[in-house]
Amino acid sequence: MGERAGAKPLRLHAADPAPLLEAVFRRIQAETMAGVPILNPALTVEAVGFSRWQDHWLGIVITPWFMNLVLVPGAAASWQSVAPGLRLFRKFPSGDFAFLGSDEPEVGEFQSCSLFSPMGQFAEQAGAREVACAALEALQRAPEAAQPAPAREAFEDPKQAALERPMSKREFLGSVFRRG
């Protein structure tokens, strides 16, 4: 663990942080989410698909109130810190995604990107898990090849200009459901 200027030491994870993340969100559910009406009683806290990505741990955490991509530090040299509540854009083959900084005692610093909240559209844990796995797979896929570049005049049309921007989170999730 290396010291960061003005911050506590960065906690690095050599092993899969899934059990620690599950402990964090079970505690949060018990301490601050109990009785909150947006909780989906069909769902439980589960960390899904955590594996190494660019020296760190990437996976999805499912809770009764959200589904988030989560990134946990595995190497100090390549980790980009972001203060809790602030965001950092991370580049994936499927596009750029905004991750919020977090820090919890069980795991230390981590970053998350919301995919779903609230979770009312999921009837059971297996369905949420299936969507989480499909989202992880889609995240690592480049967007489908675009048509050849249109003539310069075409960019006066806003629909054509959309070809020049990165995929939105809504478009990304739509691609997960179309392929799932």
127-157 tens-digit pLDDT: 999 999 999 999 989 887 544 555 555 445 4
Asked whether the beta carbons of 66 and 21 are under 8 A apart, the reply is no
Q: What is the mean pLDDT of residues 48-67?
A: 98
CB atoms within 10 A of CB 124: 11
pLDDT band, very low/low/confident/very high, at 159 (cuts 50, 70, 90): very low
pLDDT given at position 145: 53
Higher pLDDT, 10 or 8: 10
Asked whether the beta carbons of 57 and 74 are under 8 A apart, the reply is yes
Asked whether the beta carbons of 111 and 71 are under 8 A apart, the reply is yes
Helices (H), 117-164: 125-139, 158-161
pLDDT given at position 162: 42
- One-letter amino acid identity for 48? V
Q: Domains of the chain: which residue ranges?
A: 18-179
pLDDT given at position 143: 80
User: Distances in Å between the alpha carbon of 112 and those of 88, 103, 147?
Assistant: 10, 11, 32
pLDDT given at position 8: 80
Angle at alpha carbon of residue 114, lines to 163 and 38, rounded to 5°: 130
What is the CATH number assigned to the segment(s) 18-179?
3.30.1460.40
